[in-house]
Amino acid sequence: MSERGPAPFIVGSPRSGTTLLRMMLDAHPELTVLPETHFLPELIEATENGATASEAAHVVAEHRRWNDFHLDEGELAARMQAAGERPDPASAVRAFFDLYAEKQGKQRWGDKTPEYALAMSQISLLLPEARFIHVIRDGRDAALSRIRWKLQRTGKPANIERLARRWKRWIKRAREQGKQVPHYTEVRYEDLILETETTLRRLCEFLDLPWDDAVLEYHTRASERLEEIAHELPESEDRRALAGDQRLAKHAMTTKPPTADRVAVWRTEMEDADRERFESVAGDLLDELGYPVGG
């Protein structure tokens, strides 16, 4: 194993509680967990193709998420340069994370990018210290959250069957990836809410982190941590721009302590017809995961 402390990579399907877990672990005095990065595949490809330190740093700085990290491109290039004029992929990636952790006054770092669920093998080969935490939530609750978010943002209803297919496909593909990496674990959103301390103690052991009660008080500093993304996320080729207040609204629940009414919301707030449509597509996976099916 790498001499570095284990680095958590939090992954999962959309609206499954990955930001909640990020805030919990980020509250630990030794660990900072970055907001979504997304650019690792591009940075790895650039350095594999011989990019200089300045070019590699620019790959990061031109990404639409760059402003979330509040770093200086020149300082990042200098950090990468320390590994050589043409840094290898692992050195370039670590230079970015190390710099961010240093700015946060933390010894260790982690990442919360849900989409890396589909890149675990690539990241694990590059970073032996990577340990993947796959957050799984009842797909009906995740779908409700997606439906509300889409209505709030666009005023349009979501397609429940499409959400079910996406949730099912995402989890199955992530679990297949998990079988191919040496350090992978799953955590249920429901356990993060209902058995918070027990669940977080298990995850701290998985990450070789000493227990600290600060992780239970994550919500007292969540608003401060979210301020780093309180600005517009620029549009990209396949994504529309997202205003700062919309970004904060997506994660508002992380500023509150866990309460049981955030679990199995579908029982009281999902229309029977929508539940039946979701279960007709993904009921087999719900059942496999131990979630009750049939209302």
CB 232 within 8 A of CB 243: yes
> Within a 13 Å sphere around the CA of 188, how many CA atoms are in the beta-carbon half?
16
CATH class in words for 7-30+107-288:
alpha beta
> What is the structure's pLDDT at 154?
63
CA 268 vs. chain centroid, Å, equals: 28
Distance separating alpha carbons of residues 114 and 192, to the nearest angstrom: 17
Q: How far apart are CA 265 and CA 189, in angstroms?
A: 13
Q: What is the DSSP letter of 123?
A: H
Contact 16, 166 (CB under 8 A): no
Residue 34: closest CA among 89, 155, 116:
116
The domain limits of the chain are 7-30+107-288
CA 139 – CA 171 distance, rounded (Å): 10
Instruction: Note whether 196 and 23 are within 8 A (CB).
Output: no
Residue 233's DSSP bridge partners are 242
Bridge-partner residues for 70, per DSSP? Answer: none
So what's the pLDDT on residue 288? 97
Residue of 159, 160, 186, 162 whose CA lies nearest to 174: 186
Q: Dihedral angle at the C-alpha atoms of 125, 128, 129, 134, nearest 10 degrees? A: 40
Chain mean position to CA 153: 21
DSSP string, 72-90: -HHHHHHHHHTT-SS--HH
> pLDDT tens digits for the chain (295 residues)?
346 899 999 999 988 999 999 999 999 999 999 999 999 999 999 999 999 999 999 999 999 999 999 999 999 999 999 999 999 999 999 999 999 999 999 999 999 999 999 999 999 999 999 999 999 999 999 999 888 876 666 667 779 999 999 999 999 999 999 999 999 999 999 999 999 999 999 999 999 999 999 999 999 999 999 999 999 999 887 788 889 998 888 888 899 999 999 999 999 999 999 999 999 999 999 999 999 998 6
pLDDT score for 2: 40
pTM above 0.85, yes or no: yes
CB 106 within 8 A of CB 147: no
Please tell me the predicted confidence (pLDDT) of residue 1: 33
Tokens standing for residue 123: 């990241």
